[in-house]
């Protein structure tokens, strides 16, 4: 303890400069999370003082709330597909683009990053998968007599989740993609030359033993971003499939949270949903980070 206090006193100017950030982080990030966990053990409707109910909200979640179980299944399926695929797609495209000339690299980066900048422009997918004969896909299939009547893409539960997954993948080349581009640009070329001398004979060995270990910070950052995005999907599902979607086919934990938090104002129950989601995201992030630390070993 004395040694720690000496270090703090010796670096008090640095701690003073970091203090505003830590204060903002505590007030707007850590404190709301802690308050949400506490409120999850209460019955709180924002009009009356919270009443302590213990684990009642969690028992309700996992025992009596069938819609939450559907939302959990959809969220896990969504995260298991979009998380790894989007992460790998971000890295592979960044790796390929990094080999281009500077001008071509800039153009290709803009092209692949553009969907994440388009905001609500993903509603064009509603036109593509429209349920009538004027939808682009139905029109194409009818024109070539592949089908005889329009397919109800956004009204049939067996298609809805797949469509939402496709749209989310289209939007997934965002911040992680740029981080990987920056990480590849920052690799010391002398490491590659040293690797060739030490026995690295092809691009795959170079990727595993040099490139990936050199990009661990960017890989960890990208993993956090992509996993968080895959677990927190809501807007795309609502805009594409509606709220609620047919038979809750695209219902996720976040849309369930919005239902109870923003519409029903059952804040204790909504906080329990948010806490479960937080634990899921935290556990997945820790597991992925542990795996990425072994890259190149």
Report the SS3 class of residue 40: coil
User: According to DSSP H, which parts of 66-101 are helical?
Assistant: 66-97
What radius of gyration do the chain's Cα atoms show?
24
Spatial separation of the C-alpha atoms in residues 279 and 133, rounded to whole Å: 44
Whether 67 has a pLDDT exceeding 90, the answer reads yes
Tens digits of per-residue pLDDT, 131-140? 888 888 999 9
Q: What is the pLDDT of residue 253?
A: 94
- Cα–Cα distance, 175 to 119 (Å, whole number): 14
Q: Report the C-alpha gap between 267 and 280 in whole angstroms.
A: 20
Closest CA to 71 of 204, 202, 247: 247
Strand partners for 42: 52
Residue 284: name the closest of 207, 211, 232 by CA: 232
Determine contact, residues 181/98, Cβ cutoff 8 Å: yes
Residue 86 confidence (pLDDT) above 70: yes
User: The tokens of 294 are what?
Assistant: 């072994």
Which pLDDT value is given to residue 126? 83
Segment 92-109, tens digit of pLDDT? 888 888 888 888 888 888
Written as one string, the DSSP assignment of the chain is -HHHHHHHHHTHHHHHHHHHHHHHHIIIIIHHHHHHHHHTTEE--SSS--EE-TTHHHHIIIII-HHHHHHHHHHHHHHHHHHHHHHHHHHHHHHHHTTS-HHHHHHHHHHHHHHHHSGGGGGHHHHHT-SSTTSHHHHHHHHTTS-SS---TTT-HHHHHHHHHHHHHHT--SHHHHHHHHHHHTS-HHHHHHHHHHT--SHHHHIIIIIHHHTHHHHHHHHHHHHHHHHS--HHHHHHH-SSPGGGTT--HHHHHHIIIIIS--HHHHHHHHHHHHHHHHHHHHHHHHHHTTTT-
Going by pLDDT thresholds of 50, 70 and 90, the confidence category of residue 194 is confident
The reply to whether omega before 72 is within 30° of 0 (cis) is: no
Among residues 229, 230, 273, 291, the alpha carbon closest in space to that of 62 is found at: 273
Average pLDDT estimate for 144-151: 88
Q: What is the dihedral of CA 231, 234, 240, 245, to 10 degrees?
A: 100
Q: How confident is the model at residue 121 (pLDDT cuts 50, 70, 90)?
A: low
The residue ranking higher by pLDDT, 291 or 266, is 266
CB 292 within 8 A of CB 217: no
What is the pLDDT at residue 90?
A: 87
- The token pair at 266 is 């059952």
- Phi first, then psi, for residue 232 (nearest 5°) are -100, 15
- Tokens describing residue 210: 């040099």
Nearest Cα to Cα of residue 73 among 244, 288, 280, 289: 280
Percent of the chain at pLDDT exceeding 90: 26
For the segment 223-250, the average pLDDT, to the nearest whole number, is 86
Q: Tell me the pLDDT band of 229, cut-offs 50, 70 and 90.
A: confident
Predicted confidence (pLDDT) at residue 43 exceeds the cutoff of 90? yes
């Amino acid at each position: 303890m004395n040694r720690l206090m000496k270090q703090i006193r010796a670096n008090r100017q640095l701690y003073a400069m970091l203090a505003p950030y830590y204060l903002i982080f505590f007030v707007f990030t850590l404190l709301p999370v802690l308050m949400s966990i506490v409120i999850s053990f209460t019955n709180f409707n924002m009009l009356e003082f919270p009443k302590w109910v213990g684990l009642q909200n969690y028992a309700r979640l996992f025992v009596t709330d069938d819609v939450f179980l559907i939302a959990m299944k959809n969220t896990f399926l969504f995260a298991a597909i979009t998380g790894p695929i989007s992460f790998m797609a971000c890295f592979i495209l960044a790796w390929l683009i990094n080999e281009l000339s500077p001008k071509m690299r800039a153009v290709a980066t803009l092209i692949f990053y553009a969907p994440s900048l388009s905001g609500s422009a993903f509603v064009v997918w509603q036109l593509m998968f429209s349920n009538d004969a004027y939808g682009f896909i139905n029109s194409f299939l009818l024109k070539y007599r592949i089908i005889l009547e329009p397919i109800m893409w956004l009204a049939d539960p067996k298609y809805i989740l797949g469509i939402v997954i496709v749209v989310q993948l289209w939007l997934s080349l965002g911040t992680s993609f740029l981080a990987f581009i920056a990480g590849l640009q920052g690799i010391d070329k002398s490491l590659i030359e040293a690797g060739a001398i030490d026995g690295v004979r092809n691009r795959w060995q170079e990727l595993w033993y040099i490139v990936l270990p050199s990009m661990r910070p960017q890989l960890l950052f990208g993993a956090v971003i992509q996993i968080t995005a895959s677990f927190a999907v809501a807007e795309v599902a609502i805009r594409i499939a509606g709220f609620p979607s047919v038979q809750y086919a695209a219902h996720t934990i976040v849309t369930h949270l919005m239902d109870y938090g923003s519409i029903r104002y059952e804040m204790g129950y909504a906080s329990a949903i948010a806490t479960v989601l937080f634990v899921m995201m935290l556990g997945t992030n820790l597991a992925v980070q542990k795996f990425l630390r072994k890259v190149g070993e």
